[in-house]
Structure 1
Amino acid sequence: MKFNATQRSVQGTSASRRLRNAGRVPAIVYGGTESPLSIELDHNEIFHALRKEAFHASILDMQLDGKSQQVLLRAVQWHPYKQQVLHVDFQRVLAKQALTTKVPLHFVNGDSSPAVKVGKAIISHVLTELEITCLPADLPQAIEVDLSSLEAGATLHLADIQLPKGVTFVGQGEAANPALATALVKGGGASAADDAEEGGEAASGDEPAAE
């Protein structure tokens, strides 16, 4: 994905305010082998770009004064109540240098899972994104989570899915295998079939009442 930027020579609160009043957005790009650089963006262009999920989890092609640089979106500051972008941070990307970022999770096949079709469960997405590390060439725009085998009352963990090639989850220790989704039976507890089975076992195991 591409966006346009212009080098910004004037900095400070007053200068940033004038930029915003003129429909521009102050920003900064840092990292790599160069010094941090103050830039400015067209507000309408960056506003619409930020509404796209892929813009937040892709290597971006920044066109800066006629030259192309690869960057990654790092932070966005929004106005507290207006639909206005106040400031944007980008990080330069080097092809042979691993990067760490968050990638959205795309859950698929939930409606066809045994949890929903048989158990009438409600699938809850515990996480919506994962923090990963990988080389720029291996960065996925999203990670697909297949729910087709999820059973009622069960939880799908990170270890239950296959991460894309070259991608490593950042979490370690107890956080190395987080829950991604869980199938909650309506009303809580076990499914109706499980309740019936348990009830039948209890009844068959009871001693007959003494007369």
Structure 2
Amino acid sequence: MQHDIVLGAHDVTLVPLGYEHAAALLALVDDDLWAGLSTPRPRTTADVELMVLRAWESPTRWSFAVLDARTGEVRGSTSLYEVDRDHRRAVVGLTFYGRRWWGGATNPATKLALLGHAFDGWGLHRVALRVDPANVRSVAAVERLGGVREGLLRGHRTTPDGATADSLSFSILSSEWPDVRAGLERRLTGGPLPTPLSAAPALAAATPEPRSTLQPA
């Protein structure tokens, strides 16, 4: 979906993803960062431009480049996808950031902007987040965000080598959004963190070693 939505929170600005971001995004990517995604790692600017085109061609995906609000430097990319306005639901994901911005304010600020648009702008009722269950970094990030663990989606996606892989599903409902928003704002301003909303039972299986270092999808 080509769109004209611009969002902002804290020190990031989200702008419509375009070909002009391709070279900068490519420079952020390496094999470990891309591990766990369903698409092959882009290796040329043309590969990233093709990813941009595929995003534009999807009628239910709104994709963004994540920029430094002051300098305009590209930090990564993210999307609202599987958007269904009739049933008031969407998924936040297809997200990656350069290593320089891991563990800082970039991901919570980006999620604050996206979720604010989904719930307050579009009036959605449910936003899902799905991660590779082997990506313990991303699982922990979604739990800190306030996503409620729902369970394992078995054989949910296809990997670049044609194998099937599971996804771990989380969600946030509109009734939970005020607490999630307050938690994100506290994280961004250095205030005390609230109690996480993830009260659903954890999976019984032991936590595997991480396969990916991507931020949550």
After TM superposition, the score normalised by the length of structure 2 is: 0.27
Structure number with greater Rg is 1
After TM superposition, the score normalised by the length of structure 1 is: 0.27
Larger RCO: Structure 1 or Structure 2 (Cα < 8 Å, ≥ 6 residues apart)? 2
Larger proportion of strand: 1
Larger proportion of helix: 2
